[in-house]
Amino acid sequence: MSEHSRRKVSDRLGIGMTGLATALILAILLVILGTMVAGGHRVISWEFLSQPPREGMTRGGIFPAIFGMVFSVLIMLIAVLPIGVATAVYLHEYAKPGHWLTKLVRGAVNNLAGVPSIVFGLFGLGFFIQFIGRGLDASLGKEMLFGQPCILWAALTLALLNLPMVIVATEEALRAVPRDERAGALALGATRWQTIRHVVLPQALPGILTGTVLVIARGAGEVAPIMFTGAAYFLPSLPKAPTDQFMTLGYHIFVMTTQSPDIEATVPIAMGATLVLLCLTIALNLVAVVIRSRTRNALRKGR
């Protein structure tokens, strides 16, 4: 075989292998989506989305699970965004890069990202509910208000789980802002905070938003952190306050597939619920893409 044809073969092989890997990923995605669509599309209707489950989850819809999911994700965002963004700003804009404390915090963030989500669930149970919740109840003279699983503690546990993601995404976005522009603002007599507020953060916003949407998607789908901290098997009514327990889509799917009294009747509903969750995640990612390209264009044009 000549050198030329040998190179041609290896080239083809390279394209083939990488192409195959890509095709495999696509195939997996299609199989998952296909299975869910095939098994679940028949149950999806307006009633399915707007009605509570009935008859031991063998009939009815998934509305309380969607409601609870949105509720918990909102509280999670309120908690995780300010803390995560602030931490990233501190680490990237204020802290000295070589300082041992900076390294320690960064190491902690990275390790936090590697902790399995079930551990967060157990931590939430021990720390938020047993320690903080019970403590609050004792000091407020309440009986079992905070010291039990509820949306608040589940959302905070989710926030903790997602904190590293927000920090890393924000730091990444801050890193993309040119040093020259910071120097330009400082040289004009802007304070460091003004520079961050008016020059750095506006440019980092698309990156932060992208991270936020990914965090929403992850928060909506995680089950392990919330199963001990607030999610309920079944509730007859919607939660009214953050101190109520809640139903949520991921946990609901888990419950339906493992605890149903009549698996035959539940499977289509479970598949439908999974389809809804998948579509929601995909839709969120699309929203992220749109927001990102819009802010980026607006920035380029300069408002």
Partner 1 sequence: MAGSTADRIDITGFNLYYHATRALEDITLAIPEREVTAIIGPSGCGKSTLLRAINRMNDLIDGVRTDGGLRLDGEDIYQRGIDVVELRRKVGMVFQRPNPFPKSIYENVAFGVRMGGNGLLKTRLDEVVERSLKEAAIWDEVRDRLQRSAMELSGGQQQRVCIARALAVEPEVILMDEPASALDPLATAKIEELIFRLKEKYTIVIVTHNMQQAARVSDRTAFLMLGRLIEYDKTSKIFTSPSNKLTEEYITGRFG
**Residues contributing to the site for partner 1 (CB under 8 A):** 96-98, 178, 180-181, 183-191, 194, 198-199, 203, 299-303
Q: How far is the CB of 81 from partner 1 (least distance, A)?
A: 23
**β-bridge partners, 60:** 53
Between 41 and 99, CB nearer to partner 1: 99
Please say which residue, 96 or 240, places its beta carbon nearer to partner 1.
96
Q: Which is nearer to partner 1, 94 or 131 (CB)?
A: 94
Q: Of 119, 155, 150, which is closest to residue 133 (Cα–Cα)?
A: 150
User: Residues 76, 81, 87, 92: is their CA dihedral positive or negative?
Assistant: positive
Could you give the C-alpha distances from 259 to 7, 8, 262, in angstroms and in order?
A: 58, 56, 9
Token pair for residue 223?
């089950």
Cβ neighbors of 260 (< 8 A, separation 6 or more) are: 56, 57, 58, 266, 270
For 53, phi then psi, to 5°, come to: -65, 150
Whole-number minimum distance, CB 104 to partner 1, in Å? 18
| 6 vs 192, beta carbon nearer partner 1 | 192
Residue 54 has phi, psi (to 5 degrees) of -130, 160
Q: How many residues does the chain have?
A: 303
Q: Cβ of residue 200: shortest distance to partner 1, in angstroms?
A: 10
Measured from the CB atom, the residue of 206 and 242 that comes closer to partner 1 is 206
CA angle 80/84/85 to nearest 5° reads: 120
CB of 269 to partner 1, least distance (A): 50
Instruction: Kindly tell me which of 30 and 188 has the beta carbon lying closer to partner 1.
Output: 188
Nearest to 125 by CA among 220, 225, 16, 197: 225
- Whether the CA torsion 61, 67, 73, 76 is positive or negative: it is negative
Q: What are phi and psi of 51, to 5 degrees?
A: -110, 150
Shortest separation between residue 84's beta carbon and partner 1, angstroms: 24
| Under 8 Å between Cβ of 245 and 149 | yes
CB 79 within 8 A of CB 155: yes
Terminal alpha carbon distance of the chain? 62
Cβ distance to partner 1 smaller for residue 240 or 300: 300
Of 98 and 141, which CB lies nearer to partner 1 in the complex structure? 98
Q: How far is the CB of 173 from partner 1 (least distance, A)?
A: 14
